[in-house]
């Protein structure tokens, strides 16, 4: 029983430790995060490769045409419905006893239906170097980006296991206890190209100097690590009024790994097949540094976009802020493509039932195999038979590779600039719910004021998508030859869809 609860606690701890959640899969920079995480219509330079390659043609203010970024951008974000700070603060920070109705209320707010899988994600992007050059009619760029994406998921049953323990009243009916962890890291070598395809001088006197750009940024994908653990189970405690008959844990899981760990798991499996005893998994799994840096997979990706830029002549806008009025509208599809992990890839599955009706005292076995030492037998039965023998009883699926799609999105954005003030808005929708991608439409809005022309102050908000409404803010130094921006994001109320936190640093960006 001890091992069983330990295992449960381990899973729960894993989830809680990994509880930070990352932002939308859309690439952000120190500029775009401050504006709510958009950028489809305004994020230019080499960052445009990952948001909307058509933006390579855009020039913000009077910045120089050639851009080079050294440590050209680091961003991180995390969040999701599993990271619900509001519920946490309401129930877990006020000295409440999480029992009975309080526990039900908290779990209802956090997880809702027991079948619901709450997720959270984390993403870390870094651009070690990026360059771009803007011309009159076409622009090009080259950027290297590393990406690490992790997402975890847990359902209500797992939280109940933590809060209630092995409570027969909770688990008398069968309850699902599920969790998942998925992580992928890879590098992108992206080459972008954009060109002006249309130029219209005037439409209706309101829209002038209309330009339409298209761009594409194909990229070589170099996968360094992929792992996934998807654990699904049901837990049931069969009991009567005055006896607890059995614990029944019906589970299945899939474990996918790359690198040496795959070999180690295969070795464990082979040894277990060839041995009458259950070897300990701990004796086999020993992650190595090469698992996280070596190339395990390759692929190709593509980012595409169209951006329209025009000047406006609307007097009402002049009342808000003096200066040139400009509107940009962009559409992009990002992260088209996939990575095929085929180096030391392993996929393992298990499907079994643990029925625990108490410690079975096999005296003959204790006498014959354990020299009468019940303690040794006790440990072996729980650690080996249940731990390694049942939970560790996976089978290799035999797959040699796995193809993982990039978190593709479609983005629609616009930016309205009125002198030193600009307002932006982005709609985004993921094609799937993979990772931090969400099919739920997200809306990001941002407001920037360029104090003294070089000191941008930015605020933004994002709502929808995988988390609750997120507020962002940023500041920077933007000169024609140099740019430095930082931004942060957080939510004010994560009750509905969880929290989201993020930060971005532009790095050192020079323009010539």
Residue numbers at the binding site for other proteins (CB under 8 A):
1-2, 4-6, 85-86, 88-89, 91-99, 103, 162-169, 237, 239, 242-247, 320-322, 356-361, 363-364, 367, 372, 374-375, 377-378, 419-421, 447-449, 451, 457, 459, 471-473, 490-494, 499
3-state secondary structure of 368: helix
In this complex, which beta carbon is closest to other proteins, that of residue 89 or of residue 202? 89
In this complex, which beta carbon is closest to other proteins, that of residue 293 or of residue 451? 451
Give whole-number Cα distances, 397 to 350, 400, 402, 435, in Å. Answer: 10, 9, 12, 23
CA angle, 310 as apex, 308 and 311 as ends, to 5°? 165
Question: Which residue's entry shows tokens 């989830």?
Answer: 15
In this complex, which beta carbon is closest to other proteins, that of residue 321 or of residue 349? 321
CA 407, 185, 435, 83 torsion: positive or negative?
A: negative
In 10 A of CB 72, how many CB atoms?
A: 28
Minimum distance, C-beta of residue 100 to other proteins, in the bound complex (Å): 9
Contact 492, 471 (CB under 8 A): yes
In this complex, which beta carbon is closest to other proteins, that of residue 60 or of residue 338? 60
In this complex, which beta carbon is closest to other proteins, that of residue 164 or of residue 510? 164
In this complex, which beta carbon is closest to other proteins, that of residue 56 or of residue 489? 489
In this complex, which beta carbon is closest to other proteins, that of residue 6 or of residue 400? 6
DSSP string, 303-348: EEEEEEEEEE--HHHHTT--S-EEEEEEEEEEEEEEEEE-SSEEEE
320, 322, 323, 326 alpha-carbon torsion, rounded to 10°: 10
Minimum distance, C-beta of residue 250 to other proteins, in the bound complex (Å): 17
Minimum distance, C-beta of residue 230 to other proteins, in the bound complex (Å): 26
Question: Which residue's entry shows tokens 């170097």?
Answer: 129
Minimum distance, C-beta of residue 459 to other proteins, in the bound complex (Å): 4
Residues 6+ apart with CB under 8 A from 288: 259, 260
d(CA 424, CA 464): 16
In this complex, which beta carbon is closest to other proteins, that of residue 502 or of residue 507? 502
Buried b (16+ CB within 10 A) or exposed e, 431-448: beebbbbbeeebbbbbbb
3-state secondary structure of 301: strand
Minimum distance, C-beta of residue 318 to other proteins, in the bound complex (Å): 10
Minimum distance, C-beta of residue 356 to other proteins, in the bound complex (Å): 6
Minimum distance, C-beta of residue 278 to other proteins, in the bound complex (Å): 19
- Tokens for 97? 């006893």
Minimum distance, C-beta of residue 186 to other proteins, in the bound complex (Å): 31
Minimum distance, C-beta of residue 86 to other proteins, in the bound complex (Å): 7
Q: E strand or H helix at 109, and its extent?
A: helix 100-110
CA-based R_g, the chain, Å:
27
In this complex, which beta carbon is closest to other proteins, that of residue 23 or of residue 48? 23
d(CA 212, CA 197): 6
């Amino acid at each position: 029983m001890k091992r069983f609860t330990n295992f449960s606690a381990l899973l729960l701890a894993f989830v809680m430790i990994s509880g930070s959640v990352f932002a939308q899969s859309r690439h952000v920079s120190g500029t775009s995060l401050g504006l709510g995480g958009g950028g489809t219509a305004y994020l230019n330079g080499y960052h445009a490769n990952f948001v909307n390659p058509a933006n390579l043609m855009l020039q913000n203010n009077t910045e120089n045409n050639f851009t080079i970024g050294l440590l050209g951008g680091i961003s991180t974000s995390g969040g999701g419905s599993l990271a619900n700070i509001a519920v946490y603060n309401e129930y877990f920070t006020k000295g409440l006893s999480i029992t009975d109705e309080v526990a039900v209320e908290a779990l209802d707010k956090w997880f809702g239906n027991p079948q619901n899988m709450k997720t959270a994600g984390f993403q870390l992007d870094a651009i070690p170097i990026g360059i771009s050059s803007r011309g009159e009619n076409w622009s090009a760029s080259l950027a290297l980006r590393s990406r690490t994406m992790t997402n975890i998921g847990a359902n209500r049953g797992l939280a109940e296991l933590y809060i209630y323990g092995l409570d027969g009243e909770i688990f008398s009916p069968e309850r699902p206890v599920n969790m998942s962890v998925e992580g992928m890291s890879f590098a992108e070598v992206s080459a972008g190209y954009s060109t002006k395809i249309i130029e219209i001088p005037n439409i209706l006197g309101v829209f002038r100097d209309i330009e339409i750009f298209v761009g594409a940024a194909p990229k070589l994908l170099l996968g360094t690590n992929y792992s996934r653990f998807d654990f699904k189970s049901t837990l049931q405690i069969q009991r009567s009024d005055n006896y607890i008959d059995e614990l029944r844990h019906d589970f299945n899981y899939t474990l996918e790994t790359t690198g040496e760990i795959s070999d180690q798991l295969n070795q464990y499996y082979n040894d277990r097949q060839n041995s009458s005893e259950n070897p300990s998994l701990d004796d086999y799994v020993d992650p190595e540094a090469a698992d996280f840096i070596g190339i395990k997979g390759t692929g190709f990706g593509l980012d595409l976009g169209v951006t329209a830029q025009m000047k406006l002549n609307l007097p009402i806008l002049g009342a808000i802020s003096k200066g040139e009025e400009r509107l940009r509208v962009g559409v992009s599809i990002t992260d088209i493509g996939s990575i095929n992990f085929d180096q030391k890839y392993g996929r393992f599955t298990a499907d079994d039932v643990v029925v625990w009706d108490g410690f079975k005292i096999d005296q003959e076995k204790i006498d014959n195999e354990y020299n009468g030492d019940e303690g040794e037998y006790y440990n072996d039965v729980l650690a080996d038979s249940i731990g390694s023998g049942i939970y560790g009883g996976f089978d290799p699926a035999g797959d040699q590779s796995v193809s993982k799609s990039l978190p593709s999105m479609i983005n629609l954005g616009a930016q309205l600039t009125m002198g030193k003030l600009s307002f932006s808005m982005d709609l985004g929708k993921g094609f799937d719910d993979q990772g931090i991608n969400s099919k739920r439409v997200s809306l990001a809005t941002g407001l920037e004021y360029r104090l003294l022309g070089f000191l941008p102050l930015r605020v933004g908000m994002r709502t929808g998508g995988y988390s609750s409404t997120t507020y962002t803010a940023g500041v920077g130094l933007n000169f024609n030859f140099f740019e430095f921006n930082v931004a942060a994001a957080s939510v004010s109320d994560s009750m509905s869809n969880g929290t989201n936190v993020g930060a971005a640093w532009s790095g050192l960006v020079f323009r010539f």
